[in-house]
């Protein structure tokens, strides 16, 4: 196959102006040392953190360093000061850049010709800005059967700018696998993280992918699945066509298809595929989000926020 053209998107951060006060909704962090770095996620453990919560009566055995001596001088009673401790999340944003993600719909379709990859890029750019604003750590991996591009987690403005440059222009890769690329990422960086995986999940190794995701949960990773779908994939529109030649974007192979005869079977199979992705995600204890390429990315992002 000829090299595929790069997928280029632009990003307008002004569309995030009403979302800065919200944060990405994620599963609870478990089994992690809360530390003392400032972030947007309050730990369930108390500690000498960065935000004063209030006073409570002194109980024998309490740390004397937390006694409020000024209150003692005023009231003659012993109170200890309580603080909230914060954790800094580590995120990995993993984006499927396989050729199948470049699907823009059928030529006879009424839908706008936006590819799944471009839609995922827009959402990924928005997530990058939001997570950087939360002062959390974010790494990026472009995946097919291997990691084609990998940025280690960081939280600086310059780091977010670097990720944005990578996400704005992506060269898709002819591949039908995803599991080995994700496995490579987790093997190199096993530290507990929150994984955000953006894909259409139309891959040949879907069972192996679930095995890798189960491995992630055993490492105490949190999993967020972003499932991008083109509207034409749901209904298989016919227009004025009854028999068409469909080409596999990843292998270049083509096949004649009678749309009238195939539609019902196809629609049923695709819905089963979608519900399986959702069900498997919930089995993992993860969060499942579905969106369509026709949805504006900033409205998609709103549904991801707490």
* Residue that is written with structure tokens 């790069």 in the block: 6
Whole-number pLDDT of residue 304: 94
Write the CA distances from 236 to 59, 262, 294, integer angstroms: 68, 9, 16
Report pTM: 0.80
* Residue 260 included in any domain: yes
Same domain, 166 and 154: yes
Distance in angstroms (rounded) separating the CA atoms of residues 199 and 30: 26
Same domain, 79 and 161: no
Query: pLDDT of the chain along its 306 residues, tens only?
Result: 566 788 888 878 888 888 888 888 887 655 444 333 444 555 544 444 455 667 888 887 788 888 889 988 999 899 888 765 556 789 999 999 999 999 998 877 776 778 999 999 999 999 999 999 888 999 999 998 888 889 999 999 999 999 999 999 999 998 878 999 999 999 999 999 999 999 999 998 899 999 999 999 999 999 999 999 999 998 877 666 667 777 666 666 777 777 777 888 888 999 999 999 999 999 999 999 999 999 988 889 999 998
Same domain, 107 and 165: yes
Domain that holds residue 166: 7-26+89-303
Contact 51, 83 (CB under 8 A): yes
Pairing mode, strands 90-96 and 194-199? parallel
How many domains does the chain contain in total? 2
Same domain, 51 and 98: no
- Of 52, 68, 87, the position where a domain reaches its end is 87
Whole-number pLDDT of residue 52: 66
Whole-number pLDDT of residue 3: 64
Same domain, 48 and 81: yes
Nearest-10 crossing angle of helices 116-133, 157-168:
180
* Residue 68 included in any domain: yes
* Residue 166 included in any domain: yes
Same domain, 133 and 46: no
Same domain, 81 and 123: no
* Residue 298 included in any domain: yes
**CATH code (residue 188):** 3.40.50.410
Whole-number pLDDT of residue 258: 78
Whole-number pLDDT of residue 271: 95
Pairing mode, strands 222-229 and 194-199? parallel
* Residue 32 included in any domain: no
* Residue 196 included in any domain: yes
Same domain, 145 and 225: yes
* Residue 203 included in any domain: yes
Distance in angstroms (rounded) separating the CA atoms of residues 187 and 101: 25
Whole-number pLDDT of residue 2: 60
Whole-number pLDDT of residue 222: 96
Whole-number pLDDT of residue 85: 57
Same domain, 135 and 192: yes
Same domain, 138 and 57: no
Same domain, 63 and 211: no
* Residue 34 included in any domain: no
Same domain, 19 and 155: yes
Burial 30-44 (b: 16+ CB within 10 A, else e): eeeebeeeebbbebe
**Burial of residue 218 (number of CB atoms within 10 Å: 0-12, 13-18, 19+):** exposed
């Amino acid at each position: 196959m000829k090299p595929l053209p790069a997928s280029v998107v632009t990003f307008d951060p002004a569309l995030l102006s009403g979302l800065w006060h919200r944060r990405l909704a994620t599963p609870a962090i478990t089994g992690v040392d809360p530390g003392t770095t400032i972030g947007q996620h309050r730990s369930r453990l108390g500690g000498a953190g960065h935000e004063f919560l209030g006073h409570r009566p002194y109980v024998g055995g309490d740390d004397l360093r937390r006694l409020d001596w000024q209150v003692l001088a005023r009231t003659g009673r012993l109170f200890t000061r309580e603080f909230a401790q914060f954790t800094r999340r580590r995120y990995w944003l993993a984006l499927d850049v396989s050729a199948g993600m470049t699907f823009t719909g059928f030529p006879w379709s009424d839908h706008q010709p936006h590819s799944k990859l471009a839609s995922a890029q827009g959402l990924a750019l928005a997530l990058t800005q939001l997570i950087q604003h939360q002062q959390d750590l974010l790494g990026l991996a472009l995946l097919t059967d291997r990691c084609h591009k990998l940025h280690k987690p960081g939280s600086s403005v310059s780091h977010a700018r670097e990720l944005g440059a990578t996400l704005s222009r992506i060269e898709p890769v002819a591949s039908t696998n995803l599991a080995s690329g994700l496995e490579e990422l987790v093997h190199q960086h096993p530290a507990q993280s929150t994984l955000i995986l953006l894909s259409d999940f139309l891959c040949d190794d879907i069972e192996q992918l679930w095995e890798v995701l189960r491995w992630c949960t055993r490492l105490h990773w949190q999993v967020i699945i972003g499932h991008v779908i083109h509207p034409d994939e749901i209904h298989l529109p016919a227009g004025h066509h009854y028999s068409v030649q469909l080409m596999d974007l990843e292998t270049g192979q083509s096949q004649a298809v009678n749309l009238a005869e195939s539609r019902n079977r196809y629609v049923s199979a695709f819905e089963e595929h979608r519900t399986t992705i959702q069900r498997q995600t919930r089995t993992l204890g993860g969060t499942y989000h579905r969106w369509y390429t026709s949805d504006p990315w900033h409205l998609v992002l709103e549904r991801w926020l707490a």
